[in-house]
Amino acid sequence: MKRGKITVCILLAFVLTIMAPATTASANQATSYTYTLEIKSGSYEFPRTQDAYLPDKTVTKLELSKPTDVFITQDNRMFICDSGNKRIVIYNIDTDTVVDEIKGGELKTPMGVFVTKDGCIYVADNGAKAVLKYSPELELLNTFTRPTQPSFSDTNFDPLKVAVDNAGNMYVISEGVYNGIIQLAGTGDFLGYFAVNKTKLTPSQLVQKILFTREQLANLTATVPTTFSNVYVDDMGIVYSTSMGNADECLKKHNTSGGNMFMEGIVGWDDVTDVTTDKNGIIYTCTERGYIEIYSKNGEFIFEFGSFVTNVDIAGLFSSLPSIAVDNNGFIWGVDKDKGYLQSFKPTDYAKQIYGAMGLYEAGKYEESLSAWRDVLRLNQMSVLAHNGVGKALFHAQRYEESLEHFEVAENRNYYSEAFWEVRNQKLQVILPYVFALIFLLIVVNIVIKRVDKKGKLKNFKKDLTNKMLDTPVLGDVLFMFRVARHPGDRYYDIRVANSVRGASKFAGHGHASVIGAAIIYVLTFITYMVYSTMKGFIYQYVAVEDMDIGGSVAGFFVLIGLFVICNWLVTSINDGDGSLKTVFILPAYAVAPLIVGMLSVTVLSYAMTYNESFILTIIMVVTGIWSFVNLFTGLMNVHDYSFGETVRSFIITFFFMAVAVIIGLIVSIMFEQLFGFIVSVGRELILNVI
């Protein structure tokens, strides 16, 4: 316990350092909304949340021209890369004064700046094609020009950004270099490419790559990987990088070998320009359009604020945001490249609460983090982050049942599944004896009945009842599908006979297929399908009802069946099939009984299964799906009197026809839309200019 106390104290001190000076930030005064992440039916939504940061100071007096980079040291000095004025401005945040500047000499077009713990300043100078190293007294110590190592070959060396790790290795982003981040030793020797973005081909590029000749490929514009836009090294020596052009690779936290520690990817944008961290490892990024995103050290999206504006000078809104940095009070500083001024943002109590709760959780103080997260949740009941926080804290405190609600809101299915497993386990322990007792009882009853009912009266009664039901019009027609499912070959033969031989509508056996029965089955299938897609247990219900395109489902389902029936009938008409339109209509309906049963049972079982047992549900769906398909296949074979090969061919041609029909339908509808638009335009033009 004592050790725990010390940990918490250290942690508190940590949390507090980012809070000082702790002024109560008056909220409701932000100039852009703060958004948090919500995962809804598997896709991202960004609901609004309490303001996380408020615009604080706008510094307009520095007369910056096209600033490209800012870096804040631990003593709150800000190094500003004032590219347009070809200088590095050193601005003291606490005293609001310019304390010094680096200008002239080797410095040509500075684009990036980095200051090490010992105060050495590294400048990525694009104009000088070098990385310049200055002493803390601003004396030029080294000029690292293009590495001469053969492995660097004739690669460009036009540095844009630079960062330096604790061992003195430099990480350089150079213009026009797609190989990755250039890693240089403290001596300027080329060590290799630290991290690489992979080339990703679009589907059309893939096709080109397969089909084109070497000459043709050479003529295409070269496919290059996403370019790195910035690099940063935190106090611990961890390297972070940002990339532009691909949201999936926008932010990476690298391990020592350059691999990405954010294995599951990051929720971000494709125009990320800078990354920085604070003492607690919280990660801040900014985008060119003026948004600032904040992530936990594990890459979870916490919140985002900002907005893109042009021609309006409102505090906290940028028209171009190339760089951000965080000072030792936890204030974020951004620089506007177009307008040339600095803007700071002050964290609100809400932001501090979240950082505090995260810190406690990471320190393993689940009880404390639970109450901290509950406070956050009070202020935003839609916060996925807070629900996850509360949920996880409850989970670790073994309060599984309570945690379920929070994981459900947060759509955290993995944790929900685990918590549910625990809850179910507890319940099972209570219920299991009763279940076994019930099973035992049923077995006993069965044996007793067999003993008593030696003549099989009960069995006959059951059989009679079934036959009676099968003989009932309509009901019997529908129930007949289960008979089809059991013996598809025989029953489809019955269907064929019943519908092709005049006067032979009655055949041996009970029940028969009919058009009305088929129509009802189609409706039943649809209802079952809708139940299956909307009513599964939380773990397996990936899409919420309100997120579904219900109209699309209805239209899609019935159009598909209609198309299949018509196309198959057309195909068989020219292909010597025996089936009439009526039989082709009836046929698929009577094949789907297994699927209906499968979908219903999966829907019911989904309430009791965790992810550990998901294979059971998969098996049910696969088996019943195949079963239904086999039914359909057998049906076609029987009804049309086809061989196996002919049936396969008939299937393929049917699907081809269906595709053609869809394409023609699309073309016609687009043409009509165009025609309508044209008529409307002409009409408006007439009204406006002629009448």
Query: Under rule CB under 8 A, which residues in 370-429 are in contact with other proteins?
Result: 371, 377-383, 409
Among 308, 336, 266, smallest CA distance to 70 is for 336
Give the closest residue to 111 by CA, choosing from 317, 273, 278.
273
Interface residue with other proteins among 6, 7, 26, 623 (CB under 8 A) is 26
Q: Which is nearer to other proteins, 63 or 464 (CB)?
A: 63
**Per-residue x/- marks for other proteins, 214-253, CB under 8 A?**
----------------------------------------
**Please, what is the minimum distance in Å from the beta carbon of residue 116 to other proteins?**
28
- Tell me if 690 contacts other proteins by CB under 8 A: no
One residue of 235, 547, 576, 613 binding other proteins per CB under 8 A? 547
Q: How far is the CB of 51 from other proteins (least distance, A)?
A: 4
- Residue 453 vs 549, nearer CB to other proteins: 549
- Please, are residues 323 and 273 in contact by the beta-carbon 8 Å criterion? yes
Q: Which stretch binds other proteins (CB under 8 A): 106-114, 454-462, 547-555, 661-669?
A: 547-555
**CA 402 distance to own-chain centroid:** 26
Closest CB to other proteins among residues 108, 289: 289
Contacts 24+ apart (CB under 8 A), 339-342: 339/313, 340/62, 340/63, 340/64, 340/65, 340/66, 340/67, 340/84, 341/58, 341/59, 341/60, 341/62, 341/64, 342/57, 342/58, 342/59, 342/62, 342/64, 342/70, 342/78, 342/80, 342/91
Which tokens is 536 given? 């599964």
Interaction between residue 28 and other proteins (CB under 8 A): yes
Using CA atoms, how far apart are residues 255 and 248, in angstroms rounded to an integer?
18
Rg (CA), the chain: 35
Q: Which is nearer to other proteins, 344 or 514 (CB)?
A: 344
Dig out the tokens for 92 from the structure. Answer: 């003291």
Choose one: 17-25, 211-219, 240-248, 413-421; the region binding other proteins (CB under 8 A): 17-25
Distance from C-alpha of 336 to C-alpha of 320, rounded to nearest angstrom: 6
Q: Is residue 328 near other proteins by the rule CB under 8 A?
A: no
**Cβ(240)–Cβ(252) below 8 Å:** yes
Per CB under 8 A, 279 contacts other proteins: no
Judged by CB under 8 A, the residue of 6, 10, 20, 449 near other proteins is 20
Compute the distance between CA of residue 301 and CA of residue 295 in angstroms, rounded to an integer.
Answer: 5
The two most distant CA atoms of the chain are separated, in Å, by 112
39-77 b/e (C-beta count within 10 Å ≥ 16 → b): eeeeeeeeeebbbbbbbbebbeebebebbbbbbbbeeeb
> Is the CB of residue 91 less than 8 Å from the CB of residue 48?
no
Give the shortest CB-37-to-other proteins separation in angstroms: 12
Does 40 engage in binding with other proteins (CB under 8 A)? yes
Q: Which one, of 107, 228, 212, 114, lies nearest residue 168 by Cα?
A: 114
Degrees to nearest 5, angle at CA 303 with 21 and 19 = 10
Nearest to 338 by CA among 315, 314, 322: 322
* CA–CA separation, 500 and 509 (whole Å): 18
Q: Which residues 631-660 are close enough to bind other proteins by CB under 8 A?
A: none
Q: Which stretch binds other proteins (CB under 8 A): 38-46, 293-301, 449-457, 516-524?
A: 38-46
Nearer to other proteins, 618 or 681 (CB): 681
Choosing from 7, 10, 29, 398, the residue that interacts with other proteins (CB under 8 A) is 29
Does position 146 interact with other proteins (CB under 8 A)? The reply is: no
Pick out residues in 192-211 that bind other proteins (CB under 8 A).
Answer: none
**With CB under 8 A as the contact rule, which of the stretches 80-88, 313-321, 505-513, 635-643 interacts with other proteins?**
313-321
Stretch that binds other proteins, among 49-57, 119-127, 226-234, 468-476 (CB under 8 A): 49-57
Least CB distance to other proteins at residue 253 (A)? 26
Residue partners of 64: CB distance under 8 A and separation at least 6: 80, 82, 84, 85, 89, 335, 340, 341, 342
Nearest distance in Å: CB 543, other proteins: 10
Dihedral in degrees, nearest 10, Cα atoms 657, 661, 663, 665: 180
Give me the sign of the Cα torsion angle 13, 17, 22, 27.
negative
Measure the CA angle with vertex 275, ends 270 and 277; round to 5°: 145
Establish if 9 lies at the interface with other proteins (CB under 8 A): yes
Measure Cα distances from 146 to 127, 161, 405, 493 in Å.
13, 15, 58, 82
Q: What is the contact mask toward other proteins in residues 472 to 511, using x (rule: CB under 8 A)?
A: ----------------------------------------
> Of the ranges 215-223, 294-302, 310-318, 629-637, which one interacts with other proteins (CB under 8 A)?
310-318
**Per-residue tokens: 626:** 């195949």
User: Residue 530 Cβ, how far from other proteins at the closest point, in Å?
Assistant: 7
Least Å distance, CB 535 to other proteins, is: 10
Q: Minimum distance between the CB of residue 50 and other proteins, rounded to whole angstroms?
A: 5
Of the pair 27, 605, the CB lying nearest other proteins is at: 27
Residues 331-350 that bind other proteins (CB under 8 A): 339-341, 348-350
Q: Which of 316, 476, 488, 579 touches other proteins by CB under 8 A? A: 316
Residues facing residue 101 across a β-bridge: 89
User: For residues 156 and 427, what is the distance between their CA atoms, to the nearest angstrom?
Assistant: 66
What residues numbered 64-83 form the site for other proteins, per CB under 8 A?
A: none
Binding other proteins by CB under 8 A: which of 447, 449, 544, 666? Answer: 544
Residue 14: phi and psi, rounded to 5, are -60, -50
In angstroms, give the least distance from the CB of 414 to other proteins. Answer: 20
Find the shortest distance in angstroms from Cβ 236 to other proteins: 24
Which residue in the set 438, 452, 550, 659 belongs to the binding site for other proteins (CB under 8 A)? 550
Paired with 123 in beta bridges are 113, 132
Residue 25 CA, chain-centre distance (Å), reads 34
468 binds other proteins (CB under 8 A): no
Contacts (CB under 8 A) with other proteins, residues 658-687: 677, 680-681, 684-685, 687
- Which of 10, 458, 474, 545: binder of other proteins (CB under 8 A)? 545
Interaction between residue 527 and other proteins (CB under 8 A): no
Nearer to other proteins, 263 or 312 (CB): 312
CB of 623 to other proteins, least distance (A): 28
Q: How far is the CB of 48 from other proteins (least distance, A)?
A: 5
Q: How far apart are CA 124 and CA 162, in angstroms?
A: 6
Q: Which is nearer to other proteins, 5 or 451 (CB)?
A: 5
- Number of residues located near other proteins, criterion CB under 8 A: 88
- Shortest distance in whole angstroms from residue 657 CB to other proteins: 32
* 51 touches other proteins by CB under 8 A: yes
Tell whether residue 273 is a contact of other proteins (CB under 8 A): no
The residue behind tokens 């979240």 is: 354
